[in-house]
Amino acid sequence: MNIFRLVADLMHLASIFILLLKIQKTRSCSGISFKSQLLYSIVFVTRYLDLFTAFISLYNTSMKIFFIATSIYILYLMKFKFRATYDPNLDTFRVEFLLGGSLLLALIFSDFVLMEILWQFSIYLESVAILPQLFMLSRTGEAETITTHYLFALGGYRALYLINWLWRFVTESHVDKISWIAGAVQTALYSDFFYIYYTKVLHGKKFELP
């Protein structure tokens, strides 16, 4: 564990708390893509199956359980408790391609061990899981400030992982090409968002697309 990874994980944790706060405080899930949230649940469940096979640390185990539990809870909030505030007409990204593409890549590059295929699938899927959310944002052209804080924390988490990987490569010769490439793609997808967040939200203005 190094400081970059710890802060990254805490940002990931924070992003979920911010999202829960947004939903509970505004009593609405408007502006949030159910499809992205569903993809994150799939990511966590498929990646953290190793909860049953490997113990790494109490930290690792608790975080995994937290991510799985909260992602499913968010789906519940969106699908049941605050269903009326969700507009499916704005959430029209075709996730079939993301799921199919991730599975295909996982089948091509992994070594045909089920857990490994699912792990790779989850890594690829996570890198693109934000696309339905960003697509929704581009359709509406604006976002509530608290939603942008959520997206910033979520994007920042993977950006910090890039530094963590560089650090681990230098200090432990740790190499994980699949995570690196997928993580770089994931961070790059946020670049437009980061730019607008920096130029507008951090200067006290509302998040609006130019």
Partner 1 sequence: TSAKEKHDEL
> Under the criterion CB under 8 A, does residue 53 sit at the interface with partner 1?
yes
> What is the helix (H) or strand (E) element at residue 164, kind and residue range?
helix 145-172
Residue of the chain from 26, 28, 51, 64 that contacts partner 1 (CB under 8 A): 64
Tell me if 63 contacts partner 1 by CB under 8 A: yes
Out of 12, 35, 149, 158, which residue is the one contacting partner 1 (CB under 8 A)?
12
- Neighbour tally for 176: CB within 10 Å: 13
| Region of 33-41, 52-60, 76-84, 103-111 interacting with partner 1 (CB under 8 A) | 52-60
59, 54, 60, 5: which is closest to 172 by C-alpha?
Answer: 5
Interface with partner 1 by CB under 8 A: which range of 14-22, 56-64, 141-149, 200-208?
56-64
List the one residue from 50, 79, 90, 167 that touches partner 1 (CB under 8 A). 50
Shorter beta-carbon distance to partner 1: residue 44 or 197: 44
Residue 148 amino acid letter: T
In the three-class reduction of DSSP (H, G, I as helix; E, B as strand; rest coil), residue 141 is classed as coil
Q: Which of residues 125-144 bind partner 1 (CB under 8 A)?
A: none
Q: Which residues of 81-97 are buried (b: 16+ CB within 10 A; e: fewer)?
A: ebeebbeeeebebebee
d(CA 35, CA 32): 9
d(CA 23, CA 153): 16
Minimum distance between the CB of residue 206 and partner 1, rounded to whole angstroms? 33
Closest CA to 6 of 47, 76, 63: 63
Kindly identify the residues of this chain, within the stretch 151-180, that bind partner 1 according to CB under 8 A. 161, 164, 176, 179
Which residues make up the interface to partner 1 (CB under 8 A)? 5, 9, 12, 47, 50, 53-56, 60, 63-64, 67, 115, 119, 161, 164, 176, 179
